[in-house]
A and B are shown apart, each in its own frame.
Chain A
Amino acid sequence: MTDVFGADFLDRLHGAGAVQNAAAFAALRERGFPNRRVEAWRYTDLAGPLAKALTPAGLRINQEQSGLFGPIPPADVAAPAQDQPGTDALSLLNASLAGEGFLFDVPEKARLKPIFARFSAMAENALVNAANRIRLAEGAQATLVERWGNTDDSWLNSDTDIDLAPGAHLTRIILVEDGGAGTQTHRTSPRLGENARYDCLVVTLGGGLHRIEQHADMNAPGAHAGLAALVLKTGSEHSDFVTGVRHLDADNTSDQQVRTVVDQQATAIFQGGIHVAPDSQRIEGDQLSRALMLSDRAQAFTKPELEIFADDVKCSHGATVGDLSEEALFYLRARGVSEATARALLILAFAREPFAALDLPEAVEAMLDEKVKAWLGVPGAFGELDL
């Protein structure tokens, strides 16, 4: 029984008496964690986080007061289908230990102001599992800004289950940020009803290992999913951004926009997926991934996949990997902009591209801009150009 990947890690959890759902834990114990021979994990090795001595702890939620948003009551935690072989091991880990998370429940036709929430571990060097749930009733509109952060070696692992009723529109901004060498693994799987819309922007910064999975099930006509991401990685950071949009009914659309900047020895991965089921006709699915490599020791891997079983579809993907354009740099230099500023300016413009895919609240856009500028390490923003 000890030969599954991560067996020691699981034994430690068991020993600590942390297990709350024995069936889910048994399923995980039997299967183990995915190693790199598993196709979906070919670029990411969980050995690092699994070797760390982490103590199970609760999730700290800091949020503005709202009657609609708060910690999830145990009865509302969605039970993952642990008997299905396809269930992700990390979701099983979550189900084994989670008793926490948030619930965001928006009633019919409500129009909400953006809600801001911050999530972190209750203890140091902790393993935090969160099962979250978002429900938007018919015609509801809401914007949720989530900030998930560690300052130490903690591991935040979450599943967010989202139900969007017909005509509902959810805009979600997820900032995944780590001060230390922590781990964050987050998975989201929204189900979209007729004419529902899900727009999500993920920004990931810092950390040891980040793996963010954004899935979407397009269950009805008229639905649209827009998945955008900005990945900024440096040092020896590792980011794996995964998407999987399943068009399970006809006449709906999806768009994926991923921008990646990698510096130093960092590794950034984008694994994208568009799946069109048989009989899901008149689908439009687009995907564009662009990676900017700033260092020769950096690595950028892209695997944009299309799986199409219907013929009346327009699906496309584009992917580029490269350095900043020499021509663009020359243009700016010829106009008296210093090399460093020119580079920063071009990277900033590149990093802002996914923001345009969403209708971001002004305060959020300003906050994200600050994050990008700080990451670029240009003091006082852009000096002579004062952006």
Chain B
Amino acid sequence: MVAEAETIEQVSALAETYKYGFVTDIETESAPKGLNEDIIRFISAKKQEPEWLLEWRLKAYRHWLDMPTPDWAKLNIPPIDYQDAYYYSAPKSAESRPETIDDVDPALIETYNKLGIPLHEQEMLAGVQKRSVAVDVVFDSVSVATTFRDKLAEAGVIFMPISEAVQEHPELVRKYLGSVVPHTDNYFAALNSAVFTDGSFVFVPKGVTCPMELSTYFRINAENTGQFERTLIVVEDQGYVSYLEGCTAPQRDENQLHAAVVELVALEEAEIKYSTVQNWYPGDEQGRGGIYNFVTKRAKCQGARSKVSWTQVETGSAITWKYPSCMLIGEESQGEFYSVAITNNLQQADTGTKMVHVGKNSRSRIISKGISAGRSNQTYRGLVKSTRTAKGARNFTQCDSLLIGDRCGAHTVPYIEAGNATSMFEHEATTSKVSEDQLFYCRQRGMDEEEALALIVNGFVKDVLQELPMEFAVEAQKLVAISLEGSVG
């Protein structure tokens, strides 16, 4: 018993240490607190944006003012004071954008080293067999560094902060921005459209397979800042790109808002693989602090035989509100959604996907694994829909929930809407707890309860993790174990 008590103590001590909870002391430049048309003009001016983009932002803002806050999710969201936040915060040294990686503020480099993000191209190139990953880093409101741009440019791939893309490729940005998620789409998307500060822009031209994984790391650092990034990925005919996204934030007592929009466009036979490991600060055991993660992610599979695959590992955030979706417009287009969501302590998550079948013989697949522990609550919410035109549409959905502890909740809210007779939709869902037999089996072989649980849960989520690119899969596996610390005993 004594040993057990010690273990519990150790574990809870561990659980308190969110690995990414440090703050980097960097001079920042912020816009005044609050949200109004002047702030939006300020952001737009800072980014030296063309008139049309400012107009678009203002239109979104005016629309947002008239929208009610959505309350349909099974989430308890305390009222958010949108005037009590900074909508623009930039590291001062980023005023003059770094030309090479060596110009980046050393404190920032330090931060990213702590995060384990390989910014230095040399390091990556030195490992002979190692696959290279191009990284775009967004710190608070601005993108601070993008690596491997030259190498990507050779292949014809554009990978740059969206604020730069607005300057250098205005015709592309203007054509696709808001084409998947219009500024009127929903409350948080409208807010994002008004105040988005940076994010990544990827363009893969016809017939090009992007030669490396692209990756963005988002970090909220400054106090009281909201982060509103906007990612736009366009892949032309027969192109391919794999994109990874990671996020962390320092530990703070107050809640911070993160409302991102991600738009993907896949043209004929194009393929986009989008992976996320979301590890925003989840708040402490009493539910103090943590990020509000209200994200709109949507892909338009516009071309015939195009394919988009969303993979997400969601372990962080105090509140998650996120539904990466696919509009399957092209004939035989394909959408996939693989998700692992873990909530512990007082975290809340309402997440899932939408698969809207419009094209003939379009197919989709949804695998969702939810794990609730502590006093957390989690909901899978998904829509599978076929219109009359989507002859032969096919969907398979599996959503399983695992409950750890008797104070948590796991909920499933699927919507299945068939609009023609040739649609074939299958949905299955189960909810159960970790079996005593499995735990006993592991314990008998000398594992402690935490290890046993981590092993069983990793088995439960295996189907999803194996969809992640290698580097992320390893990180995600560790995350799964860390997120559940303190949930047994």
Chain A contacts to B: CB under 8 angstroms: 39, 278-279, 281, 291, 293-323
Contact = CB atoms under 8 A, between A and B. Distances in A.
Interface in B389-416: 391, 401, 403-416
Given A303-B416, A317-B429, A312 B72 contact: no
Nearest to A280: B406
A305 B427 CA distance: 12
Contact of A321 (B411, B413, B423, B430): B423
B418 A301 contact: yes
Contact of B409 (A304, A309, A320): A309
A250 to B, nearest CB: 11
Nearest to A316: B430
B178 interface: no
Given A294-B421, A304-B412, A318-B428, 8 more contacts: A295-B421, A296-B420, A300-B418, A301-B416, A305-B413, A315-B430, A321-B423, A322-B423
Contacts of A319: 414, 416, 425-428
A39 B421 contact: no
A203 to B, nearest CB: 22
Contacts of A296: 388, 391, 420-422
B420 A293 contact: yes
A298 B421 contact: yes
Contacts of A39: 72
Contacts of A297: 388, 420
Contact of A318 (B411, B424, B427): B427
Nearest to A322: B424
B406 A278 contact: yes
A306 B415 contact: no
Contact of B417 (A299, A304, A311, A320): A299
A286 to B, nearest CB: 10
Contacts of B426: 318-320
A316 B400 CA distance: 9
Given A293-B423, A319-B426, A320-B427, A306 B418 contact: no
A305 B415 CA distance: 9
B122 interface: no
Q: Which 10 A-B pairs have the closest CB atoms?
A: A311-B403, A293-B421, A322-B424, A302-B416, A319-B427, A306-B412, A321-B418, A321-B425, A315-B431, A311-B433
A312 B406 CA distance: 8
A195 B473 CA distance: 48
Nearest to B426: A320
B432 interface: yes
20 contacts: A293-B418, A294-B421, A297-B388, A299-B418, A299-B419, A301-B418, A302-B415, A305-B414, A313-B431, A314-B430, A316-B429, A316-B430, A318-B426, A318-B428, A319-B428, A320-B426, A321-B416, A321-B423, A321-B425, A322-B424
A27 B78 CA distance: 30
